[in-house]
Amino acid sequence: MRAMKFLIMNGAGNRFAVFDARERDGFELTSERVKALAKPGSQTMGVKGADQVIVMRRAKAQGADVFMEIWNQQGGEVDACGNATRCIAWLVLKESNKAEVIIETKAGLLKCRSAGDMRIAVDMGPPRLEWDEVPLKEAMHTHHIDVKVGPIDDPVLSNPGAVSMGNPHCVFFVDDFDKAKPEKVGPMIEYHPLFPEQVNVGFARVDGPNKIRLKVWERGVGMTLACGTGACAAVVAAVRQSRTGRRVEVQVDGGVLQIEWRESDDHVIMTGPVELEKEVSV
């Protein structure tokens, strides 16, 4: 494969290698190639590595501006990534001069618009809340699910909410991150037998009716500076458990995301920053 330029971008610290293959039909990625490119310390991505590798392709769906192919750090292809959606939308908005663009993913079509300088708002659509939509292995209400960490009679964590935002999320509400130990609990829950497709694990501390501090263990990645779909899932889970209002500022390790779960149409709107770090060749 001949050399190809790509962009290094991030959304609130969630870092991506972005390839534009819209005019290059022969460009294909393999799991091994993705892992070599994305791993921390790789020659091209540097110490931080990439949380995901993104490929822009010609849209397949009518009305869409671009198709976004998403690979995680472990070389698996996934359906959705909120922070990457903002990055791709920024690129397409910039080149098209449109007021709104539609990004096509395996999880569906996402409408995006500019929300200011280097900020993008994405309509993530309605959350999927039925047990078989998340999905879970067995039927249960997703408002709270039967997952506990620690002693049965005195668990450290319990009663998380389950939400799909195009990918599965399990959201625990915590008072103390040191006690919750996201970096240890995350990989345990990611492969919990209740989640047949594995799961992204959120640890949300509610700091007020409109404020959440969030840490996310992302499936196929690990602890990440930001997870856009994770922020959306945390707000949905918080609203369903009467912990917050529907418009919430979500502070992640890499920045701040504004999330609104609209009552009018059930859609979740995510607004946040985009950064273009540099262009490199591989």
Peptide bond into 40 cis (omega under 30): no
CATH (residue range 161-266): 3.10.310.10
Residue 197 in this model has a pLDDT that exceeds 70: yes
Dihedrals phi, psi of 156, to nearest 5 degrees: -75, -40
Q: Do domains 5-124+273-281 and 161-266 have the same CATH topology?
A: yes
Cβ-contact 13, 226 below 8 angstroms: yes
Count other C-beta atoms under 10 Å from residue 124's C-beta.
28
Cβ-contact 214, 201 below 8 angstroms: no
Residues identified as active-site: 81, 227
> Would you kindly state where each structural domain of the chain is located, as residue ranges?
5-124+273-281, 161-266
Residue 57 tokens, joined: 């392709």
Half-sphere exposure (Cβ direction) of 220: Cα atoms closer than 13 Å: 26
Q: pTM, whole model, 2 decimals?
A: 0.92
Q: Which CATH architecture has domain 5-124+273-281?
A: Roll (3.10)
| DSSP string for residues in 148-182 | -BS-TTS-SB---EEEESSSEEEEEE-S-HHHH-H
- pLDDT digits 0-9 by tens, 250-263: 999 999 999 999 99
- pLDDT digits 0-9 by tens, 142-189: 999 999 998 888 899 999 999 999 999 999 999 999 999 999 999 999
Cα–Cα distance for residue pair 11/16, rounded to 1 Å = 8
